[in-house]
Structure 1
Amino acid sequence: MNLKDKVCIVTGAASGIGKAIAERYVADGARVAIADLKMEAAEKAAEELTAKGPGKAMAVEMDVTNEDQVNAGVEKVVGAWGGVDVLVSNAGIQIVHPIEDFPYNEWKKLLSIHLDGAFLTSKAVIPHMYEKGAGSIIFMGSVHSKEASALKSAYVTAKHGLLGLARVISKEGGKKGVRANVICPGFVKTPLVEKQIPEQAKDLGISEEEVVNRVMLGQTVDTEFTTVEDVAEVAWVFAAFPTNALTGQSLNVSHGWSMT
């Protein structure tokens, strides 16, 4: 299995998990579009990864909640490289509040980025994958695709929804060679998670140390954070796997945080 010369789009790839996935793909010889809201950061990441090779990267400005931007970004990639083989819908945010205090506009914003973003990017790439007769769509879920935590009603709802969307894409795309799977990481030490630590400490009335050791890592087997490299390796397997034997599935990468 390998990704040599495969055309991949990774959203939210200027930093964090998305960048680690893009780096893993480029290291295997893939051509990777770094699709991100932050064009300057995307261009910097693309230059850095291309310099490492053996694959290459390009920057694409993309707001995954904007259908016109998504379509234009996908067409830019297709125009440059002739198609799309892999989509990793990774862009996401986190907002935490008790349900009774959750602002509706923030609820809608989170669901739009996670769910609308996954839908719009999938909708844009699927025709190109059908034309090739092959493709892999990967959604960045979470252990919260299968579990729940206090304060995360919007996030848990969105991550559960990605499982359903992936399964429908698998059913519709199977005969045309298109697979869809979901990666479900535990807590990964990224800026997104680091931002949650003081927020949850405040909302739960506990120390930041307790948030890390009890809330975030208390259910793991070894009180270890999952790494971006762990997630990237699973993203490589889902992308490179050659047949429909692996579709409609979800895989936890969580140090045992969730075992469902």
Structure 2
Amino acid sequence: MLNGKTAVITGSTSGIGLGVAEELAKQGCNIVLNSFTDTDADHALAARIASDHGIQAAYISADMSDGEACAALIEKAADRFDRAVDILVNNAGIQFVAPVDEFPVEKWDAIIAINMTSNFHTIRAAVPGMKAAGWGRIVNIASAHGLTASPYKSAYVTAKHGVLGLTKTVALELAEQGVTCNAVCPGYVLTPLVEKQIPEQMAAHKMSRDDVVRNVMLQRQPTRDFVSIEQVGQTTAFLCSDAASQITGTSISVDGGWTAL
């Protein structure tokens, strides 16, 4: 049902964003990948997705800390496929951990800009085209930290809580326009970045891989199992489907029971 739709996924050259892009490509969407770099590898990744799934794909660089660049991403995506952006997935994000009284101001500003404010800028740019088409899907990749908190993550937790507030407000504004806006809140996802951390944690704690995963990394995730990239991608694709046309203004937790505690 998504054949020929144009989907923009921010922060999508690896991890969750790439998983979302792959899943939407499987559903027939034309894909715009995004990151802040502009390398041959970025464009080759788009070409590979296009070839694998028989769709069109492009890579468009944009600095998600820059509001004008966020808006330009949407405009360039519409120009590339000669149609308004149908699906917007806000996934770009960064992290930094420190006590609040030691948190570098520049890190706070960057996390708020990329993890939260970029969502406003891309949504603001994409909504007019969606309203004109009478159809649109906005999915904001938030986090279990949009619903709960952890120490030393003041900027990240603040940004993700803000994303959920933005999600609800946009959903209400567009409720009669054929456009939905929802959030996905993953728990601990087994991304390549997380995979690389496991041997480091094993050495630091002098534990086996299973013990580190179960008792250190997934201590707050009751299933004691990672969320997969594919599960986040499939949840996002569901929210873009006709089956989810009456789901708007909500958050779906994919967190192994984390927020049930």
User: Same fold, TM exceeding 0.5?
Assistant: yes
Deviations 1:42-79 (A, max 9, x none): 31220110110132211111112222222222112111
Task: Find out whether 1:22 has 2:24 as its counterpart.
Answer: no
Q: What residue is the counterpart of 2:224 in the other structure?
A: 223
Q: What residue is the counterpart of 2:235 in the other structure?
A: 234
Contact 2:9 2:90 in 1 (8 A): yes
Structure 1 position 229, deviation (Å): 0.4
Q: Which amino acid aligns with 1:29?
A: G
Q: What residue is the counterpart of 1:128 in the other structure?
A: 129
Contact 1:65 1:120 in 2 (8 A): no
Contact 2:65 2:110 in 1 (8 A): no
Contact 2:188 2:221 in 1 (8 A): no
Structure 1 position 259, deviation (Å): 2.6
Structure 1 position 198, deviation (Å): 9.4
Q: What residue is the counterpart of 2:60 in the other structure?
A: 60
Whole-Å Cα distance in 2 between the matches of residues 243 and 17 of structure 1?
21
Residues 1-260 of structure 1 correspond to what in structure 2 (within 5 A)?
2-40=1-39, 41-81=41-81, 82-193=83-194, 207=205, 212-241=213-242, 244-259=245-260
Whole-Å Cα distance in 2 between the matches of residues 196 and 71 of structure 1?
34
Larger displacement relative to structure 2 (215-224 or 190-199):
190-199
Deviations 1:136-167 (A, max 9, x none): 11101111111111111111111111110000
Aligned residues: 254
Whole-Å Cα distance in 1 between the matches of residues 71 and 108 of structure 2?
25
SS for the counterpart of 1:258 is helix
Contact 1:35 1:60 in 2 (8 A): yes
Whole-Å Cα distance in 2 between the matches of residues 25 and 168 of structure 1?
25
SS for the counterpart of 2:234 is helix
Contact 1:252 1:259 in 2 (8 A): no
SS for the counterpart of 2:259 is coil
Contact 1:93 1:192 in 2 (8 A): no
Whole-Å Cα distance in 1 between the matches of residues 6 and 206 of structure 2?
41
Deviations 1:93-136 (A, max 9, x none): 11111112111111111111011111111111011111101111
Deviations 1:14-40 (A, max 9, x none): 111111111111111110100211222
SS for the counterpart of 1:176 is coil
Whole-Å Cα distance in 1 between the matches of residues 197 and 181 of structure 2?
29
Whole-Å Cα distance in 2 between the matches of residues 182 and 252 of structure 1?
9
Whole-Å Cα distance in 1 between the matches of residues 70 and 229 of structure 2?
25
